[in-house]
Amino acid sequence: MSPDHSSNPPATTKRWVRDTPGGGAQGMVLVADADAARRSAYAKALNDLGFGTHATGSGREALESLLHQGRFDAAVLDLDLQDQTGAQVLGGLTRRKVAIPAVVTGKAQQQFDPDVKGYAKKTFMQVRDPDLVALAIRQLVPPRRPPVSRLEQDLSAEERARCREIQEMLVVQQLPDFPGWDSAALYQPCSSVGGDYLDIFPLANGRVGIVVGDVSGHGYPGAMIMIMVRTAFRLIAPHHSTRDTVIEVNRFVTADIRKKMFVSAVYAVLDPSTGSLEIVNCGQNPPVLSSSTGAHVIPASGLAMGLNSGSIFERELRVQQLPIEIGDRLLLYTDGVPEAKNETGEDLGEDALLRIAGEQKDGGSQDLVDSIAEAIVEHRGAALQSDDITIVSFRRLAFIGSADAPTLLEDLE
């Protein structure tokens, strides 16, 4: 959704250093963005967290500065820099074997540029929100504190890195592109690792399983439970019906989950060729179905997983069968969307979500996801993100791909 700058004259590079009273006690961050207002907003948010900053609108200057190892602890790098793109900066760092932790901002499709994908120490964000960017930098850069126990710190950092690496491998990074459908997703954890869960996997007869879930709380315990739930779904779903899959996953989770923790989830089984959908809601926010008549929620039913392993859970369970007609859209999301809070603690709300879905009923899935993300940022204002955010949209189009087009099953495998 970023404007096309190709016909605009190069922006004047604005250089300035702004340190907190502690002199950048948490480290120095290079901020590289062509937009001067964003540079200022990023710097302020970083300063509030104790980082010192140096800002530039030039990709060439950013690369030159980052090649001086030891000068910066991290970078905020926008991919739409004009004189030298952010991807080229990352490629230059990779070739010189310089790996500075970076928060990379840009449009969703830009994350698949080879130079961006190949850069190891990065967090990609398509929502250019100063508070989210500053938090992501704080998660990438270990806090500076007196070394009480060097061994303890080293182990903690190693565990954090491994946990984050495992989660990034398991959460779906790119939705499959299959004939006749348009899809898009946003996954934004609140902390360095999240408890939200998004997965898509192949089932028999060309169908696919889709899971959007949320572990109570977030952080490392939530991430580990998310990984456990993902494994259970992928092992159980290919051999059971939609209803029995959820029952078996719940038994598995309830046996191993810690008391007072639970997993809310929506499990959907979609046949892309016919639009047939079976959906089970286990304590998750109600999905939204948009059609020519507007947007409405699919009523929620069922208990969250992990609360009861027997008859109570099964009694509340309901499998809904819905046809997704040409032009219809299925929107799944976690509670970090409607419960996004502003400075006064007010939620964004489900009504706002329905309004946006209705306004975008004829638009692309990426447009809808971006519109929801922008509404969250606008509503939140100066308040920080308080929960993990997951949004995924599937829209059935009015055309079908050719017979030799890649199938969904091939994309997933």
Quick one: average pLDDT of 92-100?
89
Domain ranges of the chain: 16-145, 165-412
Strand pairing partners for 186?
391
pLDDT given at position 191: 65
Percentage of the chain beyond pLDDT 70 is 79
pLDDT given at position 255: 86
Quick one: average pLDDT of 326-333?
95
| Confidence category of residue 131, pLDDT binned at 50, 70, 90 | confident
pTM more than 0.95: no
Per-residue pLDDT at 39 exceeds 80: yes
Averaged confidence pLDDT in the chain: 81
Per-residue pLDDT at 91 exceeds 90: yes
Residue 146, token pair as written in the block: 């007196």
For residues 189 and 54, the model is more confident at 54
For residues 135 and 2, the model is more confident at 135
Contact 298, 204 (CB under 8 A): no
Residue that is written with structure tokens 């208990």 in the block: 303
Strand pairing partners for 93?
none
Per-residue pLDDT at 96 exceeds 50: yes
Per-residue pLDDT at 16 exceeds 90: no
Contact 292, 325 (CB under 8 A): no
In 3-state terms, what secondary structure has residue 91? helix
pLDDT per residue as tens digits for the range 383-396: 888 788 899 999 99
Quick one: average pLDDT of 54-83?
89
DSSP assignment of 215-280 equals: ESS-SHHHHHHHHHHHHHHHHHGGGS-HHHHHHHHHHHHHHHSPTT--EEEEEEEEETTTTEEEEE
Quick one: average pLDDT of 331-360?
91
Per-residue pLDDT at 211 exceeds 90: yes
pLDDT given at position 404: 45
Q: Which residues contact 302 (CB under 8 A, 6 or more apart)?
A: 246, 280, 281, 282, 283, 313, 316, 317, 318
Q: Do domains 16-145 and 165-412 have the same CATH topology?
A: no
Residue that is written with structure tokens 């964004």 in the block: 348
pLDDT given at position 333: 95
DSSP assignment of 320-366 equals: EEEE--TT-EEEEE-TTTTT-B-TT--B--HHHHHHHHHHTTTS-HH
> How would CATH label the architecture of 165-412?
4-Layer Sandwich (3.60)
pLDDT given at position 50: 82
Per-residue pLDDT at 375 exceeds 80: yes
Per-residue pLDDT at 168 exceeds 90: no
| Confidence category of residue 164, pLDDT binned at 50, 70, 90 | low
1.10.3370.10, 3.30.565.10, 3.40.50.1370, 3.40.50.2300: which CATH number matches 16-145? 3.40.50.2300
Cα dihedral sign, 50-53-165-190: positive
pLDDT given at position 317: 92
Quick one: average pLDDT of 280-305?
90
- Which range is least confidently modeled, 163-172, 245-254, 300-309, 402-411? 402-411
Quick one: average pLDDT of 46-52?
85
Quick one: average pLDDT of 227-248?
94
